Amino acid sequence: MVAMVDYAILSVCLFTIGIVGILIRRNIITILMCIELILNSVNLLFVAFSRYLGNVDGQIFVFFIFAIAAAEAAVGLALVVAYFKLRETVEVDEIKLLKG
């Protein structure tokens, strides 16, 4: 039998892995991937609670988060491509145009 807490622990694991990835990776594309990982862990928690409470509202929210994740990936990657055309790099340590 799988309890609710197992889904919650899996979600926390994925969330922590995403945060650590944002901190240790230097390629901005990989950082965007880690953000997708974090959004996925939240989705998992939403669906698990929707099942647990017997209420489909959580699944509707997951549907909305899908749309927002798609929009975020599109705009983020467009920004990355635009910056690469300008400066020929996607390393976050090299991106310091606004750093005074």
25 and 14 Cβ atoms separated by less than 8 Å? no
> Could you tell me the smallest distance in angstroms from the CB atom of residue 100 to other proteins?
20
Q: Which of residues 52-81 bind other proteins (CB under 8 A)?
A: 52-54, 56-57, 59-60, 62-64, 66-75, 77-81
DSSP state of 88: S
User: 35 or 100, CB closer to other proteins?
Assistant: 35
Q: Is 87 in the site for other proteins (CB under 8 A)?
A: no
Q: Is 42 in the site for other proteins (CB under 8 A)?
A: no
